[in-house]
A and B are shown apart, each in its own frame.
Chain A
Amino acid sequence: MTDRNSEEQTRLGVVVSGSLTRGVEVRLEPLVSVEDMAVGRYVAIEGAKHRFFGMITDVSLETVDPSVTITPPDVSDPFIAQVIAGTATYGKLRVLPMLTIGGEAASILEGPQPAKTVPAHFSVVNLASQRDVEVVFGAEDEKRFYVGTPLDMETKVCLDIAEFVKRSNGVFGKSGTGKTFLTRLLLVGMLQKNAAVSLVFDMHSEYGWEGKTEKGYKVKGLKQLFPSKVAIFTLDEESSKRRRVSTDVVVRIGYDEIEPEDIELLRQTLNLTEASAQTVYQLAREFGDRKWLEAVMNLNEDDSKQLIGRLNIHDSTYRNLRRGLENLRRFSFLVPRARENSVQRILEYLDRGINVILEFGRFDDFAAYILVANLLSRRIHARYRENSEREMGGEVAPSRPLVITIEEAHRFLSPEFSSQTIFGRIAREMRKYNVTLLVIDQRPSGIDGEIMSQLGTKITCLLDDERDLDSVLTGTSGKSELKSVLSKLETKQQALIFGHAVPMPVVIKTREYGTAESYKELGFLEASELKRKTEKDLEDLWA
């Protein structure tokens, strides 16, 4: 096959059968090798009235006569091999028509429209040209952010960031498939396009200052690339100092900020029984919502006995609870009284349009992560909610859209907890209060189906567990076809994007991140260049 980049159109074959739901079948031309085809690649189908844009979802080998498979012809003879190819044996593609380009008024005015029919019999199928892909995914502009290129093409696939942040989104993939790199790119996109501010709960401290590739190379975090637009908050000052990260704020959380719901959420991680989690509510009633934790932590043996006698709590339940709560003592960021209100500080930064990345340092276990992320998000969400209610009353300007990034999302959004955590509510409420989620997870089947169905755009790297695949693709049209594409992704730098922010599902080779060139493309200037630019700006100013 000739180089498809140099040639505008490469004819692959003709449509021979199919349906809209299953996709159309394309008989390959004899000269086109099945080995040159790949699932996930784009094709353009020239129908009689419309031009269709579709994706290859399956490649198969066919024979006209089944006896060929029993007594194969002597293909070692090049003549026989040449004759047989495309006649007695041929290749077949299954193509899912996704969009129609041009041909009708809506399509000309508003761009590609979802395909509602299939091309006629024997419509010619070509490999999609660079131009076709550009028409479908748009060029990079103030709203669209370049996230990668389609397989075997140079064209940029752009994500409509303004649309992207309007709903909660998900990044999925097995561990080591590039979720973190993808997320970094998305965060940069949101930051560059000014579509939203981000609050990142950075469990492994890899987004803020510096991360590492699997091979051990260091990659710059957001703060290094955009120092004026990113603030690093930390729970563990010492760890940040050791890593020579310049942090902006050290977060401390007072005991008074922990509510009974937070403990219930930690039931599994703190190894609490159902009964002891319920006891927390009893204690909160006894001591007050803000004081209970401090009070319980400071109870001595005798006072405890009196307390459980009075409240009629079983001794073993109380012991189980105390043991669990004692675990909280190892979190040095939890203090009886916090000097400053962390939530307030975070909100101040966010209001100024500065993205906040909260590093967990050595507290990278689930207990700390769930506790802090849930606690802070709940408060921040409440403030946003308040603000948007005031906005409805015409008192204040609408707040900047906020995207909260959480990792290991199945811990928060499992069917068991999703109704209790704030994240479950945010995902369901969507953009009503200008707060959405960016969910990062390696086990999407652990996330409540209701939440999964609310995610606007899903970006998934390789997944191979059947349940994970099913869960990610729930409610997507062409599910079984996309499943075959998804399970065949490469383990590195490839992802399938589908949903609200792209006109059709697209498999991309993720944009480069981590090389000097890639930083430059993202708008990062080395110190010397920055100095030169500043000098030039000054000159321009005074000239």
Chain B
Amino acid sequence: MKQIRDQKSKIKGGFGKKIGEVVEASSAEFVAQCYKLDEAPPLGSIVKTQDNLAAIYGVVFDVETHSLEPGRRVVARGENLESEEDIFKANPQLARLLTTDFKVLVVGHVEGKSFRHYLPPKSASIHSFVYMCQLEEVGTFTQSMDFLSLIVNAKIDVPVDEVVAACLRHACQAHDDRVAFMVKAGKELARMFSGDANRLNSLLKRIK
């Protein structure tokens, strides 16, 4: 454990808020479970997970709250109650029976001291912690727009363009000159969608 902490301290940017833990992992994406119900990071935000080999960065592309037991469906309980909060007060077990998961698309990792905007050699470790990235780190990671191609080419159930737009809206807060950042990102997208002007148009409208 100490080894991991030492490794972590070497990584630039430090750590943001701990929000969950990896419960399913593959090379291109991982699923993390939130520690608290409904407290998942926003769509498109950049998170990271760390094991003793490398820090892996990803973009949140799907958030799902569901019953812990696959066979038990959630049923409506608030018909005779005043507010939604009363439901949880009246049924304190609910917080234990439900869980919020978020899916993360891997968009880069750290090798040595530098960012690599491509898939890491090894997938994220199960049970490794997932942290929100601090703004400063988001800013450094998004200096290069190469990570966008990983999102654009991902095979996911959620509309890719929505994830791209959400990610850029999130990342631009980390840059002093937000307009310049968006123009740079827009130009990268324009190159990627050079054969599909309509898709580019609708995407640009979402990030301006």
Residue numbers of A with Cβ under 8 A of B are: 30, 64-65, 67-68, 71, 73-74, 77, 79-80, 82-84, 86-88
Contact = CB atoms under 8 A, between A and B. Distances in A.
22 contacts: A65-B197, A67-B197, A68-B197, A71-B198, A73-B200, A73-B201, A74-B205, A79-B182, A79-B186, A79-B204, A79-B208, A80-B186, A80-B205, A80-B208, A82-B183, A83-B189, A83-B204, A87-B186, A87-B190, A87-B191, A88-B194, A88-B197
Nearest to B189: A83
A78 to B, nearest CB: 9
Nearest to B191: A87
B198 A83 contact: no
Range class of the B interface residue count: 10 to 19
A73 B197 contact: yes
**6 A-B pairs closest in CB distance:** A83-B186, A87-B190, A64-B194, A68-B197, A79-B208, A67-B197
B5 interface: no
Contacts of B197: 65, 67-68, 71, 73, 88
A88 B183 contact: no
Contact of B196 (A65, A83, A87): A65
Contacts of B198: 67, 71
B165 to A, nearest CB: 13
A64 B195 CA distance: 7
Contacts of A88: 190, 194, 197, 200
A83 B201 contact: no
Interface in B146-194: 179, 182-183, 186-187, 189-191, 194
Nearest to B200: A88
Contacts of B196: 65, 67
Given A74-B201, A88-B200, A82 B195 contact: no
Given A67-B197, A67-B198, A71-B198, A87 B187 contact: yes
Contacts of B205: 74, 80
Contacts of B183: 79, 82-83
A84 B182 contact: no
A84 B189 CA distance: 10
B187 A30 contact: yes
Contact of B208 (A65, A71, A77, A87): A77
Given A86-B187, A87-B190, A88-B190, A80 B195 contact: no
Nearest to B182: A79
A67 B186 CA distance: 18
Contacts of A74: 201, 205
Contacts of A82: 183, 186
Contacts of A71: 197-198, 201
